[in-house]
Structure 1
Amino acid sequence: MSASAARHLLLHMTPNGSLGPEGEDLVVVQRGEGPYVHDADGRRYIDGLSGLYCCQLGYSYGPEFAEAADRQLRELCYSPLWTGSAHPTAIELAERLSRIAPVDIEHTFFCGGGAEAVETAWKIARRYHALNGQPGRTKAIARRGAYHGLTIGALSLTDDPGLTDPYGPPAIDTRFVSNTSRFGLAPQFADDTAFTAHLLAELEAEILAEGPETIAMLIAEPVQNRGGCITPPQGYWQGLRALADRYGFLLVADEVITAFGRVGEWFGGDRYGARPDMVTVAKGITAGYAPMGATLVSTKVAEVINRPGAVLNHGYTFAGHPLSAAIALRNLKIMERDRILDNVRGLQDDLANRMAALTDLRIVGDVRGAGFFHSCELVGDLEGGGFSDRARADLIVDLIPRRLREAGLLARVYNRSAPLVQIAPPLISDRALLDGIAAIVAGTLAEASARL
């Protein structure tokens, strides 16, 4: 099977030509149960990344989701959400989302995934301002190091030249401001009040330099994934809301990863007092059992784009697909019935403490995160904490990912800019499993520390 994959399957974000003609470096995941997956050779792994941050419920709810899918497909297999047409399952899901969404978010535009949700938010922002007589609002603001998707528009909101440069000029005119990582900053920024004031002052200066009348939206994740589970200081999201109101741009919370329980709330922004104008979601909305994305929209914005005669010329063939909508509804039902958020809330402090203890290791510079979402930022053998080419190759490329996998844990080892080890286990994980994950990470990084 690995050889067939090497010949025919183009993997994402992968140097496919380096897999070998027989795909010997490829893990073929064949089945799963609970928080575990099994490869084609029968080896079992803890899924420490919930697939790709989406399998909130793990892998044992298949029969229940299959029943929901079977019922939907027997009744209606497909119906678009185009030109005055809708179907009951999408309507029910949109209403259900409005009941758990942040304050004033009552409308849903469905799509196929996270990048589509982000591009939808951008088009809605542009349309909103144009209908309000401000077509000159053509710029976005995003945060340094953030990732919002790989389609050409969403990619424009990312400042990584390695991702953007191969595809030419960005499709969106974006300005970048600091994210909320404190690692390596001056000691005074350990204080939330001082750090928040610093970040908001920098942002406001950027807005004024560009011209407030040119800014359409600011997009940020409640906990920034890329760069390592970067949490905000107290008051930060309230400050973003105040600046958005003062200067008239829209505030977008990218919750593709953080929504649906990842940090202990239905929406990650709820943990930090966020009040966005739009929210982008995907991944956990279906717990990985079907593809789906959505852009959730505030009443303030919807009232403008829904004015009589106005048209949002935007859509997707499979947006709000009946099957995916049925799966999403069942996912929300299961999460409530089985008290999934309570499980995260009850165990998150223990996991945070286990992860924080890793800072005792020489190779660990910082540990960050919230809920079931944590990263270790690694420091190396060079002055200032960087890695020599040899240390990066030996430890980040080889030893750490190999040892984690040998110990039966699938986690993310990030090797762009500052190296990271990241975990995002299924939200059904119990204390023993979380302790096991932390122990595997600790053992692996202890060995890596000894080799620095």
Structure 2
Amino acid sequence: MDTKQMQQDAKDHLWMHFTRMGTYKKQDVPVITHGEGCYVYDTNGKKYIDGLAGLFTSQLGHGRKDIAKAIAEQTEKLGFFPIWSYAHPGAIELAKRIADYAPGDLNRVFFTSGGGEAVEAAWKLARQYFAEIGEPGRYKVIARNLAYHGTSFGALSINGGATIKGVFEPLVPGARHVENTGLYRSRHAVNCDNMEEFAEECALDIERAIEFEGPDTVAAVFLEPIQNVGGCLLPPEGYFKRIREICDKYGVLLVSDEVICAFGRLGYMFGCERFEYMPDIITCAKGITSGFVPMGAMITRDFLMEPFLDDDKIFLHGSTFGGHPVACAAALATLDAFEKENILENVRNNEALFKSELNKLTELPIVGEVRGAGYFYGIELVKDKATKQMFTEAESEAILFKFLSPRLYEEGLMCRTDDRGEPVVQLSPPLTAGPDEIREMVDILYRVISEAVEKVEALKAKKPEALSA
């Protein structure tokens, strides 16, 4: 297709997700045509390093012929068949393989088309499970401030940020939110002498919420191993151990939402392994197929299946494309590559280098903190490092979206600028990235954030032009 015509067709017909469509009235839509390894290319042939793995998804990078071959072969054999009262070999093999990777007795795998669907399935399962065992009053969930769990109405209700929720309210009732574990800005950090106390206070927030709502009304606690929104908020040591104890104490299910953190992002197949806790349910997606085909899954412990093993019982949930045979083939090929190419080891071997390179950014006066683990990091930007002074909404717009985002793109780095919470830049590259790619990403970030320092100095001097595009 002619490039000029492609641009016009994009502007006339394509509605992109979470995109300010009005920005393309006077500028071209970025169009990515192909990729290879950690890099992608646009219609002009310009090369970009994919510092976000598409969207925390392309674990194995781009242009994988092994996965493409598996997809093609499966399409010729069985292009589609549902797993409604039937099964197919790919779904069986993949379920068994995921169960083998998952810790403990997380042996039951319910396939979905993506992460939001997996979260939706988990809340529905929690509610129906308790109804089946004679506790129908348990329907509420506890989640954390700023947490992101999806966009369907149930998953959206569990989200802890108002930005994408307000316009759709009223939402599904029953979701409650508590303090997250973001140490840099936590109200708990002021009153805690050490990380052990901080972990305890954060965990007690969840216990207090359960007690306030009434333990006999709470079905589940939904937590990400590392919280995405807010900029890779880490759990303090001991936090998840206490959460497990609290959930056991009140008979509440612990859901580990690993749509981002599963399949190697933190150097382990599942994020709960990284932080040594045992959830009752894992929700996952994205990296399960390295993004080649949409797929998600809810993985549950054996006891959650027990009420549904009677002849007349059904979990009243499902979707047309959950367990799609082509998606299963892509996932199996992805897991094969994980093993053959030692992907988990690559992440763990390069994590220290990644951290040390990113920590160089803290030399810059507007970088407040760098945090994360594995191949998943957030860089929080501040107006004043000494006081942790935050940007106003207008200042954040000027620095983050009108300057940093386009400049990073111009310099050939695809990453994420986000102001849900405080302004952050996020990095989450393909898990195949090595030292060269890591240094390339950090070099670009250092250069462009250095340029942003001048913008911030102008803001401090109250120069109106600093807020212009």
**Which TM-score band applies after superposition, normalised by the shorter structure?**
over 0.9
Equivalent residues of 1:189, 1:195 under 8 A apart: yes
One-letter code of the match for 1:271?
A: R
Out of 376, 394, 398, the position equivalent to 2:402 is 398
Partner of 1:411: 415
Q: Distance in 2 between matches of 1:178 and 1:390?
A: 26
Equivalent residues of 1:48, 1:411 under 8 A apart: yes
Out of 427, 437, 442, the position equivalent to 2:441 is 437
Deviations 1:268-316 (A, max 9, x none): 1100012000000100000011110110011121123333422111100
Q: Distance in 2 between matches of 1:195 and 1:27?
A: 43
Ranges of 4+ aligned residues in structure 1 off by more than 2 Å: 159-162, 184-192, 304-309, 381-384, 388-394
Structure 2 matches for 1:264-413, cutoff 5 A? 264-380=267-383, 385-413=389-417
Give unmatched runs, 5+ long, in structure 1: none
Structure 2 residue 266 is the aligned partner of structure 1 residue 263: yes
Equivalent residues of 1:182, 1:189 under 8 A apart: no
One-letter code of the match for 1:77?
A: G
Q: Give the CA RMSD over aligned residues.
A: 1.5
Structure 2 residue 21 is the aligned partner of structure 1 residue 16: yes
Query: Structure 1 residues 10, 350: CA separation in 2 closer, same or farther (over 3 Å shift)?
Result: same
Deviations 1:335-381 (A, max 9, x none): 10000111001000110111123222111111110001000111126
2:267 aligned counterpart, secondary structure: coil
Identity of matched residues, % = 41
Structure 2 residue 47 is the aligned partner of structure 1 residue 44: yes
1:42 aligned counterpart, secondary structure: coil
Partner of 2:94: 93
Q: Distance in 2 between matches of 1:318 and 1:69?
A: 15
Q: Distance in 1 between matches of 2:288 and 2:362?
A: 33
Query: Which range moves more in the overlay, 185-194 or 32-41?
Result: 185-194
Equivalent residues of 1:116, 1:293 under 8 A apart: yes
Partner of 2:431: 427
2:305 aligned counterpart, secondary structure: helix
Query: Structure 1 residues 49, 321: CA separation in 2 closer, same or farther (over 3 Å shift)?
Result: same
Structure 2 residue 163 is the aligned partner of structure 1 residue 195: no
Q: CA deviation at 1:49?
A: 0.2
Equivalent residues of 1:218, 1:250 under 8 A apart: yes
One-letter code of the match for 1:437?
A: M
Partner of 1:64: 66
Equivalent residues of 2:142, 2:209 under 8 A apart: no
One-letter code of the match for 1:376?
A: I
Query: Which range moves more in the overlay, 125-134 or 71-80?
Result: 71-80
2:141 aligned counterpart, secondary structure: strand
Structure 2 residue 132 is the aligned partner of structure 1 residue 125: no
Q: CA deviation at 1:45?
A: 0.2
Query: Which range moves more in the overlay, 172-181 or 391-400?
Result: 391-400
Equivalent residues of 1:182, 1:190 under 8 A apart: no
Equivalent residues of 1:139, 1:216 under 8 A apart: yes
Q: CA deviation at 1:390?
A: 5.0
Query: Which range moves more in the overlay, 385-394 or 5-14?
Result: 385-394
One-letter code of the match for 2:20?
A: P
Out of 226, 240, 244, the position equivalent to 2:243 is 240
Equivalent residues of 1:142, 1:177 under 8 A apart: yes
Q: Distance in 2 between matches of 1:41 and 1:420?
A: 29
Equivalent residues of 2:229, 2:420 under 8 A apart: no
The size of the alignment, in residue pairs, is: 448
Partner of 1:182: 183
Query: Which range moves more in the overlay, 248-257 or 25-34?
Result: 25-34
Equivalent residues of 2:244, 2:277 under 8 A apart: yes
Give unmatched runs, 5+ long, in structure 2: 1-5, 457-469
One-letter code of the match for 1:255?
A: E
Q: CA deviation at 1:79?
A: 1.2
2:158 aligned counterpart, secondary structure: coil
Partner of 2:81: 79
Partner of 2:467: none
Equivalent residues of 1:127, 1:305 under 8 A apart: no
Equivalent residues of 1:380, 1:388 under 8 A apart: no
Query: Structure 1 residues 417, 202: CA separation in 2 closer, same or farther (over 3 Å shift)?
Result: closer
2:365 aligned counterpart, secondary structure: coil
Query: Structure 1 residues 172, 279: CA separation in 2 closer, same or farther (over 3 Å shift)?
Result: farther
Q: CA deviation at 1:25?
A: 4.2
Partner of 2:145: 144
Partner of 2:9: 4
Query: Which range moves more in the overlay, 382-391 or 187-196?
Result: 382-391
Q: Distance in 1 between matches of 2:29 and 2:239?
A: 42
Q: Distance in 1 between matches of 2:23 and 2:353?
A: 39
Q: CA deviation at 1:70?
A: 2.0
TM superposition score normalised by structure 2: 0.93
Equivalent residues of 1:157, 1:172 under 8 A apart: no
One-letter code of the match for 2:38?
A: P
